[in-house]
Amino acid sequence: ANNRIDLLIHNIGTLITMQGNRETRKGSEMSEVAAVRRGAVAIRDGIIAAAGPEDEVLAQIGGLPVERKHDAEGRLVTPGLIDPHTHLVHGGSREHELDLKLKGVSYLEILAQGGGILSTVRSTRQATEEELYSKAKQSLDTMLSLGVTTAEAKSGYGLTLEDELKQLRVARRLNQEHPVDLVSTFMGAHMVPEEYKGRSGEFVRLVIEQMLPEVKRQGLAEFCDVFCEHGVFSVEESEQILLAAKEMGFGLKIHADEIEPMGGAQLAGKLGCISAEHLIAASDEGLEAMRQAGVVAVCLPATSFNLRLKQHARARRMIEMGLAVALSTDYNPGSSPTESLQLVMTLGCLNLGMTPEEVLTAVTINAAHAIGKADTVGSLEAGKQADLVIFKADKLAYLPYHFGINHVHTVLKRGNMVVSDGTLIR
Ligand SMILES: O=C(O)CC1=NCN=C1
Ligand SMILES: [Zn+2]
């Protein structure tokens, strides 16, 4: 009913609303975070009724009765953080690869030896749906305690129809049962499995003719993603798969130019992908093709940090060119075993050269656009979900500056307090 306010968050020292254009924040727009001193947020039925300067919010809600008030004690409040690229559902872990890495064995060499993704495929195939669920739930709890209220989760460790469906069912169940909203991406084209070694054409046909139609029929994923990389799927194979997915109504994503400049970024522009991921080796013409098509550039600085790469994604160049940049953990057991989007914010500043404002834009409104959810989350404004974080800080710059700890004080998800004073409320 419109005749009351359920919750009023007041005495917010700095309220970052991220209000403004409904489109992605491109280029210099990424610095416009619409910060407000002494702010307030009025919430009704899990939806924001008003957000902005406290006196304006109070004027907007007028004499409506306020059920509960929460004093933010002068702290910093931002939209709930959004992690637009994770391989959340998987079995096993790959700490044994740390020794190889320290001996100088590269990511692609480990993969070529049947390790890497393929070892996670073995663990995921062996794991029961229940085991996958409880492992992924733990990670989702960690993400929520770190301020993440919406995330994307890819399949891609099953590589058989049944095991891919198993992963996607786990993500769907988590989306239903866990406070964090999850968006699913089918990524059957993550790697050619051992049983199809040397027969990638046949595996591509399996993905197109068997997996995609069944995932669509069961409504188990909104997006389709492909690992376009040297020794994985070629640009031609990636195009074949993504075109088929597009015809079936999937949104498109592509792991592009992570290690070798394959032209994945150009393909992302050509196909009109909603986002392209990694982009460390992407060329200027690839980035320009993306810019023209409005493809969100998702940079993964924890991955290039963990792979000890000399190059990181050229986020400064992307912003200068006028692209919309998002950031993500790329959480997965091999190339980026971390759930910490706050650490990614620090690496966005220190390794990608982004400012704190650009980084916050990249993990809120631009991340929301990268998963097609910018109409419901990613900023604090009337009509959007009341997903917000109260941080133990009073300035935005403090978050990426002071790294390696969790700055979260309180998290609201759809107006419900799910983290209070740094503790997850079960
Ligand atoms: O290594 C993994 O398990 C995940 C990954 N896919 C593409 N790059 C990294
Ligand atoms: Zn990835």
Q: pLDDT, tens digit, for every residue of 231-256?
A: 899 999 999 999 999 999 999 999 99
CA atoms of 51 and 8, how far apart (whole Å): 10
Give ion ligand 2 contacts, CB < 5 A: 330
Q: Which residue has the tokens 């834009």?
A: 361
| ipTM passes above 0.90 | yes
CA atoms of 337 and 330, how far apart (whole Å): 8
Task: Report the DSSP pairing between strands 416-420 and 423-424.
Answer: antiparallel
SS3 assignment, position 269: helix
Ligand 1 center to residue 365 CA distance, Å?
A: 25
Task: Report the DSSP pairing between strands 408-413 and 416-420.
Answer: antiparallel
90 Cα nearest atom in ligand 1: 3
Residue among 95, 117, 226 to mutate when testing ligand 1 (max atoms within 8 A of CB): 117
153 with 84: CB under 8 angstroms?
A: no
Nearest CA to ligand 1 atom 8: 335
Instruction: Report the pLDDT value the prediction gives residue 1, as an integer from 0 to 100.
Output: 60
Nearest Cα residue to 185 out of 164, 154, 159: 154
Ligand with smallest separation from the Cα of 119: 1
Instruction: Give me the chain's average pLDDT, please.
Output: 96
384 with 377: CB under 8 angstroms?
A: yes
Q: How far is CA 350 from the centre of its chain?
A: 20
Q: Residues 10-27: what's their mean pLDDT?
A: 94
Torsion of Cα atoms, 44 then 47 then 53 then 55, to 10°: -20
Instruction: Report the pLDDT value the prediction gives residue 22, as an integer from 0 to 100.
Output: 80
Supply 210's token pair.
Answer: 């068997």
CA atoms of 84 and 53, how far apart (whole Å): 29
Give me the half-sphere count of Cα atoms (radius 13 Å) on the Cβ side of residue 317: 15
87 Cα nearest atom in ligand 1: 4
Please state, in angstroms and as integers, the Cα–Cα distance from residue 60 to each residue in 73, 107, 123, 417, following that order. Answer: 22, 55, 54, 24
Nearest Cα residue to 388 out of 343, 359, 418, 367: 418
E strands of 123-180, at which residues? 148-154
Q: pLDDT, tens digit, for every residue of 139-169?
A: 999 999 999 999 999 999 999 999 999 999 9
Ligand with smallest separation from the Cα of 258: 1
Residues with CB under 6 A from ligand 1: 87, 116-117, 120, 227, 255, 258, 332-335
Instruction: Report the pLDDT value the prediction gives residue 153, as an integer from 0 to 100.
Output: 98
Residue among 87, 120, 255 to mutate when testing ligand 1 (max atoms within 8 A of CB): 87
Q: Which helix (H) or strand (E) holds 351?
A: none
Is the pTM for the entire model greater than 0.90? yes
Four-residue CA torsion sign, 329, 331, 332, 336: positive
Residue 78 has pLDDT above 90, yes or no: yes
Q: pLDDT, tens digit, for every residue of 333-392?
A: 999 999 999 999 999 999 999 999 999 999 999 999 999 999 999 999 999 999 999 999
